Amino acid sequence: MRLRYIPPRMPGTTSQSAGRSLLACEGMSKAEIESILDAAEKYRAMIDRREQSDLLRGKTVVNAFFEHSTRTRTSFEMAAKRLGAMAVNFDPGLSSTAKGETLADTVRTLDAMGVDSMVVRHASGGSAAFVARHVRATVVNAGDGRHEHPTQALLDAMTIRRALGTVEKKRVAIVGDVLHSRVARSNVHTLRALGAEVVLVGPRSMAPTDLKSAISSKIFNDLREGIAGADVIMTLRIQLERHARAQFPGGGEYARLFGITPARLEWAKKDGKVLVMHPGPCNRGVEVSREMLNDERCLMLEQVANGVAVRMAVLARACGAEQ
Ligand code: CP
């Protein structure tokens, strides 16, 4: 008997499971975001107790990362395994990508092996949506160029909610290389949907033009002005890999003007009661001072811990197994 591979739907058609894919935070409702965060709370408790579950037994999750990652890829793998799924890490460096295989052919090939959900990171904006048009599996965007990084924003929202009780009416200053940051884009949409007041702060050369209508306030080019009154300072990595040419004189100059230090937290609140976040990886001593990284107000590792929980919630949804 000849086995026949049934091709996936043609590009441009809509997936039956599109509602379970997570391609962007733009357009997500408050209720949708909160349901993921509520599920993630349950999974965070499971992780803290080092428990596992069989919720995704029989499901296959493929991590297809065409860009480097420490946190996102590892936490998606841990999330899938903690829920009992088979987690496969596709390595583009060892794949037929090097022989000229296109992205569409690569993901269709993986899909044909029987995948329930594909987690995709790629340097091109729109690549996750592109993949979703070529595969049967649900697709989770793990970062597409400078466009979006939805699970990062969800884990950031979870971190703020756990630390402050709510995101609503909190003032969040997103500081740094906003122009090139998919983290900033996803956070603006997520935090605004949850009722936060979001302001953007950074050098003129790194200020976005596309987010002006999505934020409640103007874009600040002065750190002291921009972080005034902030409950949370969300710092961003300088995305050197996305700079076509130098956007600032150097790390020392950036740190002098925009680096976050314990002393500068008093520019936000006189009592210095401000939370500092960074998605990682961090240019130590540039975006955040070394002293600040060791300060209990810096939540970087708490963000990482919440990342596994959020990705468990997202994978459960993507595999159609929400509890
Ligand atoms: N925050 C983040 O996406 O980190 P990685 O690039 O290490 O996954």
Radius of gyration of the chain (CA): 20
Angle CA 79–85–89, to nearest 5: 70
Characterize 111-141 residue by residue with b for buried, 16 or more Cβ atoms within 10 angstroms of its Cβ, and e for exposed.
beeebbbbbbbbeeeebbbbbbbbbbbbbbb
Would you say the C-alpha torsion 217, 222, 225, 231 has a positive or negative sign?
Answer: positive
**Least confident piece of the model among 3-12, 112-121, 153-162, 164-173:** 3-12
Q: Is 72 in the pocket of ligand 1 (CB under 6 A)?
A: yes
Kindly tell me if the per-residue pLDDT of 17 is higher than 50: no
Angle CA 235–240–242, to nearest 5: 105
What 8-state DSSP symbol labels residue 13?
S
Q: Is 69 in the pocket of ligand 1 (CB under 6 A)?
A: yes
CB 159 within 8 A of CB 299: yes
Number of Cβ within 10 Å of residue 207's Cβ equals 17
Give the pLDDT of residue 185.
Answer: 94
Read off the pLDDT band of 97 (50, 70, 90).
confident
What 8-state DSSP symbol labels residue 210?
T
Residue 270 in 3-state DSSP? coil
Q: Is 279 in the pocket of ligand 1 (CB under 6 A)?
A: yes
Query: What's the gap in Å between 72 CA and the centre of ligand 1?
Result: 5
**Least confident piece of the model among 131-135, 209-213, 271-275:** 209-213
pLDDT tens figures, 77-93: 999 999 999 999 999 98
Helix axes 150-164, 182-193, angle to 10 degrees: 50
Q: Mean pLDDT, to the nearest integer, of 222-234? A: 97
Q: Mean pLDDT, to the nearest integer, of 222-236? A: 97
Q: Can you tell me the distance from the alpha carbon of 260 to that of 288, in angstroms, rounded to the nearest whole number?
A: 5
Q: Mean pLDDT, to the nearest integer, of 34-55? A: 98
Q: Which fold has domain 150-299?
A: Rossmann fold (3.40.50)
- Domain 15-148+305-318 shares a fold with domain 150-299: yes
Q: Is 150 in the pocket of ligand 1 (CB under 6 A)?
A: no
Read off the pLDDT band of 2 (50, 70, 90).
very low
Query: Which residue lies with its CA nearest to atom 5 of ligand 1?
Result: 69
Close Cβ partners of 296 (under 8 Å, ≥ 6 residues apart) = none
Phi-psi category of 282—alpha, beta or left, where left has phi over 0 and alpha has psi -120 to 50? beta
User: By C-alpha distance, which of 140, 147, 160, 188 is closest to 311?
Assistant: 140
Selected residue with higher pLDDT from 239 and 216: 239
Give the pLDDT of residue 137.
Answer: 98
Read off the pLDDT band of 222 (50, 70, 90).
very high
Query: What's the gap in Å between 73 CA and the centre of ligand 1?
Result: 8
Nearest atom (ligand 1) to Cα of 237: 1
pLDDT tens figures, 278-302: 999 999 999 999 999 999 999 999 9
Query: Which residue lies with its CA nearest to atom 4 of ligand 1?
Result: 71
* Ligand 1 pocket mutation pick from 66, 67, 70 by most atoms within 8 angstroms of CB: 70
Residue 52 in 3-state DSSP? coil
Query: What's the gap in Å between 71 CA and the centre of ligand 1?
Result: 5
Query: What's the gap in Å between 145 CA and the centre of ligand 1?
Result: 12
* Ligand 1 pocket mutation pick from 65, 72, 301 by most atoms within 8 angstroms of CB: 72
Pick the CATH number of 15-148+305-318 from 3.40.50.1370, 1.10.260.40, 3.30.420.40, 1.10.3720.10: 3.40.50.1370
Nearest atom (ligand 1) to Cα of 121: 8
Query: What's the gap in Å between 68 CA and the centre of ligand 1?
Result: 8
* Ligand 1 pocket mutation pick from 71, 185, 239, 288 by most atoms within 8 angstroms of CB: 71
Q: Mean pLDDT, to the nearest integer, of 8-31? A: 70
Give the pLDDT of residue 98.
Answer: 83
Domain residues of the chain, as ranges?
15-148+305-318, 150-299
